[in-house]
Structure 1
Amino acid sequence: MKYSLANAALLALSLSEPATAFWRMRCPSRTGLARIDPLVDSGTAADHSHAIHGGKKIGFVTTTDDLLDSECSSCAVTADKSAYWHPVLTFQHANGSFEAVRQVGGILVYYLLHGENIQAFPKGFQMLSGDTRLRNFSLPVPDPPIAEWRGDAAEQWALRQKALGFNCLNYGRDAEASLYRHFMPDKDYTDANCADGVRFELMFPSCWNGEDLDTPDHKSHVAFPSFVMDGTCPEGFEKRVPSLFFETIYATQDYVGVDGQFVISNGDPTGYGFHGDFISGWEPSLLQEAVDTCTSLSGELSDCPVFQPYMQSDDDCVACNLDLPSELEDDDCAGPADALCGNVPVQYGPAYAQPLHQGSDAPAPTYTTPENTKSIVPSLSYAAGTHVVTDNYGAEMTAFNGQIQAAQVEATPVASSSEVHSPVVSATEAYVTPAPEVQVADVEDDDDANIVATTTYTSGGAVYIEEIEEVTIYTTVPAETPAGYRRRHIDYHRHNHGRNI
């Protein structure tokens, strides 16, 4: 098979290291699983459940001061009392009951230090990423190479959709790159391919207008850089804040051979409506010190001296739990239960999902399919005919020796749309293939290189030229790796960055 690869090589004009420092904030346990969302549903029970991590003092109304007053944090650094939350993955059994899928290791929140003059989140800063009502990917699939991200594909609504990733984990194969696919693979695919679960990934905007701590939609004060993870900030959003990246692993392998389907707790069986929220619980001066001094490329918290006085054990993280509001005492968000927590209906799309009702007075669950709306039934025999399936395995966003890269499988894209609320669905059927082994030649300073785009920027007193080169690589299928080899990686900063688990 022949693939096309765009190598965005960072060529330094000095001896400075162009790779970007970062750290992984480990939050090994949830503080709670509850219908709490102080951003979108402030003052009342949320319309769907979330896995919540970080500072203990999160409730229907939550401020940075509340979080800073938390007695504990479920994250490895006690000084990080931020609130991180996202809808949880559930499994719907053939009898119609739902249960939360086992979450492996809590959440990892990557703090990626892209750009220059990065400013710590100011006190009171909050934002969200994703769109809970989205049920389709409204761009050509798969993602084109980064060099071709122009026009509609470079608009903010498009970058928001590309900020979602669902990584099929199989530690016996080469790992998929971060943000590789923008939809949740269906159960047939996960059973056959994802032996070690599915990693949910979510990138947050890192370009800020420098003024607003929040906006009514919790998005308009921030924007994505041109490559989602990195790149150029749009006009009016030149201030850079740390780039947040959520990574959560779900043990979908627990359900191999079990009849049913995976559904996110907001009623989304497609993955397009996955989202996440953040309220900063850092003292800005401490976070700024970490941004300025934590320059290790390992990503390990232990390599940052700023965090050393605040490190705690995993047992202490697990012991930190939120105080559940009395209004939620009768909720069963873990299940098994007859309905999703909050009586949330399952809506397949591809149309934009109907808004959910808040609280426990929501109507009885229904299944909204492209054809009609069906009442809850004990059998899922209709799922194969109504399940929205698309083939949009997105561009790889990985790294080789510190170089940003994007890969595209040669395929005929479906029609695209510039309207975020007018999504287009592919009619192609999902297929199961082994993960390819990708062989990539070293990127060298080559006069014959096919450079398709060039940008220049400065960082840390050094000037960098970013050249996007079109090259050809070849793959061999299937990929083989030694038995027992396992890795979990984000692969954006340098080749094979990751760790054994």
Structure 2
Amino acid sequence: LQLVTLHSATPSRNNPTDTDRTDTMLWLGALSLATAVRGQAFSFTMLRFGCSEVVIDRIDPLVDPGQVPSPHLHQVVGGNAFNASMPYEDISGIASCTTCTFDQDFSNYWTANLYFKARNGSYHRVPQIANEVIGDANGGITVYYTAPGPNTVTAFKPGFRMLSGDTNSRESKGEGKNMQSCFRCYDGPNFAGNIYSPCFDPVRDTEGLPSKPCLGGIRSSVIFPICWDGKNLDSPNHKDHVAHPVDGPASFALVDGQCPESHPVKIPQVHYEIVWDTTQFNDASQWPEDGSQPFVLSNGDNTGFGQHGDYLFGWKDDSLQHAMDNKCFGPRCQGLTTQTFPVANECSVKPMVSEQVDGWIDYLPGQAPA
């Protein structure tokens, strides 16, 4: 079951060299081996790429369309068309830039932020760092798209959107190694202990927030359903138009399960990873006196069970379908073009809500008492 992470000591660069690409392919190759030895078919069609932060703002066009401000803060990546309301049309024709390295991807991906709550009751936003073998991203999200192989999935349609997770959940879903949301507690710097595929480490992965200091930070994972009803771009709860396979939620990259009759269309598995640099908050004297962990999501959840991710499709033309049908793997795909992070990091959206979200604050954004 073990994943051996392979990479050189050479730091990631803005303009990837053959060494950088080799590092990434070795990492992904080890990941595929680790997943395959579980006794299930591993996806050999997989995009894995970085998207820098485009905005941190208290709006949510999926759950609270048009509401400014929305109840809690989000960190958002992707295209600069992001707004409080997003039309059911091709947003790749509205956005003029993207923070993702695939420059045909104007999708938006967003999650809650993570905060540290000090013993005195004040809060501080936890910064994000670039994920392993990603490069010089400005925080943001690492995005995966996986498929069982060529010509096995149908790419999303313009206007498609979905939600994974439940912001109101405060209890375990009991999905075990099929959990669709987890946190990895790194053993030390440089992603130490990253030896299992996502949400599969029996020691370092937990469905709730880790209960101990993580010497190398914390990585969030959010995995989305892989079956679609073939008709609806959305549903009232942003979930019912998609579904899991008949034998239960698909683990990371194990996407060969049979879709139910109600949702017969197989879609790419979307998966987010966010690395939170919690190391500056490991001082035990600042942790709660009762020994509980001090981190809280921006929706007010200190359990982690309410972790969730929002997705709004925005790839240009048939570029995502092309990637899924041509055995594309990692951060490059023949027929698609990429941009460097210095270019991607220039793309941004001005926040719609003017409020303090960084530094020490008395309340989480949107959570001040009435």
* Match of residue 55 from structure 2: 32
| Structure 1: runs of 5+ lacking an equivalent | 1-5, 12-17, 146-158, 345-362, 365-501
What CA distance in whole angstroms lies between the structure 1 residues aligned with 2:43 and 2:156? 22
Which SS does the other structure have where 1:248 is aligned? strand
The reply to whether residue 139 of structure 1 matches residue 161 of structure 2 is no
> Structure 1 residue 95: deviation in Å?
2.1
Q: How does 1:150-161 map to 2 (within 5 A)?
A: none
The reply to whether residue 164 of structure 1 matches residue 164 of structure 2 is no
* Match of residue 203 from structure 1: 223
- Amino acid paired to 1:131: D
What CA distance in whole angstroms lies between the structure 2 residues aligned with 1:67 and 1:95? 45
Which shifted more, 85-94 or 277-286?
A: 277-286
**Counterpart contact for 1:33–1:334, Cα < 8 Å:** no
* Match of residue 350 from structure 2: 323
The reply to whether residue 112 of structure 1 matches residue 146 of structure 2 is yes
What CA distance in whole angstroms lies between the structure 2 residues aligned with 1:54 and 1:8? 33
**Counterpart contact for 1:301–1:307, Cα < 8 Å:** no
> Structure 1 residue 88: deviation in Å?
0.6
Which SS does the other structure have where 2:318 is aligned? helix
Which SS does the other structure have where 1:268 is aligned? coil
Distance 1:30 1:10, change over 3 A: closer
What CA distance in whole angstroms lies between the structure 1 residues aligned with 2:156 and 2:111? 20
What TM-score, normalized to structure 1?
A: 0.57
Distance 1:343 1:227, change over 3 A: closer
> Structure 1 residue 239: deviation in Å?
0.3
Which SS does the other structure have where 1:321 is aligned? coil
> Structure 1 residue 283: deviation in Å?
2.6
> Structure 1 residue 278: deviation in Å?
0.5
**Counterpart contact for 1:169–1:175, Cα < 8 Å:** no
- Amino acid paired to 1:167: R
Distance 1:95 1:82, change over 3 A: same
**Counterpart contact for 2:92–2:316, Cα < 8 Å:** no
The reply to whether residue 55 of structure 1 matches residue 88 of structure 2 is no
Q: How does 1:313-352 map to 2 (within 5 A)?
A: 313-325=340-352, 328-329=353-354, 331-343=355-367
Which SS does the other structure have where 1:236 is aligned? coil
- Amino acid paired to 1:275: H
| Structure 2: runs of 5+ lacking an equivalent | 1-35, 131-139, 200-204, 288-293
Distance 1:173 1:52, change over 3 A: closer
**Counterpart contact for 2:106–2:316, Cα < 8 Å:** no
* Match of residue 244 from structure 1: 270
Instruction: Please tell me the root mean square deviation across aligned C-alpha atoms, in Å.
Output: 2.1
**Counterpart contact for 1:129–1:204, Cα < 8 Å:** yes
What CA distance in whole angstroms lies between the structure 2 residues aligned with 1:277 and 1:219? 10
**Counterpart contact for 2:215–2:279, Cα < 8 Å:** yes
- Amino acid paired to 2:340: S
**Counterpart contact for 2:163–2:309, Cα < 8 Å:** yes
**Counterpart contact for 1:90–1:98, Cα < 8 Å:** yes
Distance 1:333 1:201, change over 3 A: same
What CA distance in whole angstroms lies between the structure 2 residues aligned with 1:318 and 1:107? 13
Count of aligned residue pairs for this structure pair = 302
What CA distance in whole angstroms lies between the structure 2 residues aligned with 1:247 and 1:80? 17
- Amino acid paired to 1:40: V
The reply to whether residue 228 of structure 1 matches residue 250 of structure 2 is yes
> Structure 1 residue 182: deviation in Å?
1.0
Which SS does the other structure have where 1:306 is aligned? coil
Distance 1:272 1:307, change over 3 A: same
* Match of residue 184 from structure 1: 209
**Counterpart contact for 2:146–2:324, Cα < 8 Å:** no
Distance 1:136 1:78, change over 3 A: same
* Match of residue 283 from structure 2: 257
**Counterpart contact for 1:121–1:284, Cα < 8 Å:** no
* Match of residue 291 from structure 1: 324
* Match of residue 473 from structure 1: none
**Counterpart contact for 1:168–1:199, Cα < 8 Å:** yes
Runs (4+) off by over 6 Å: none
Distance 1:174 1:316, change over 3 A: closer
Which protein shows a greater Rg?
1
What CA distance in whole angstroms lies between the structure 2 residues aligned with 1:22 and 1:33? 28
Q: How does 1:287-436 map to 2 (within 5 A)?
A: 287-293=320-326, 295-296=327-328, 299-302=329-332, 304-308=333-337, 311-325=338-352, 328-329=353-354, 331-343=355-367, 363-364=369-370
**Counterpart contact for 1:207–1:238, Cα < 8 Å:** yes
> Structure 1 residue 217: deviation in Å?
0.4
* Match of residue 125 from structure 1: 160
Superposed CA deviations along residues 185-227 of structure 1, whole A, max 9, x for unmatched, are 12xx1x2xx2211110000011000000000100000012234
Superposed CA deviations along residues 103-126 of structure 1, whole A, max 9, x for unmatched, are 012210100113763111111100
What CA distance in whole angstroms lies between the structure 1 residues aligned with 2:312 and 2:343? 22
- Bigger share in strand: 1
> Structure 1 residue 70: deviation in Å?
1.2
**Counterpart contact for 2:224–2:270, Cα < 8 Å:** yes
| Percent identity of paired positions between Structure 1 and Structure 2 | 33
What CA distance in whole angstroms lies between the structure 2 residues aligned with 1:174 and 1:281? 31
What CA distance in whole angstroms lies between the structure 1 residues aligned with 2:193 and 2:111? 28
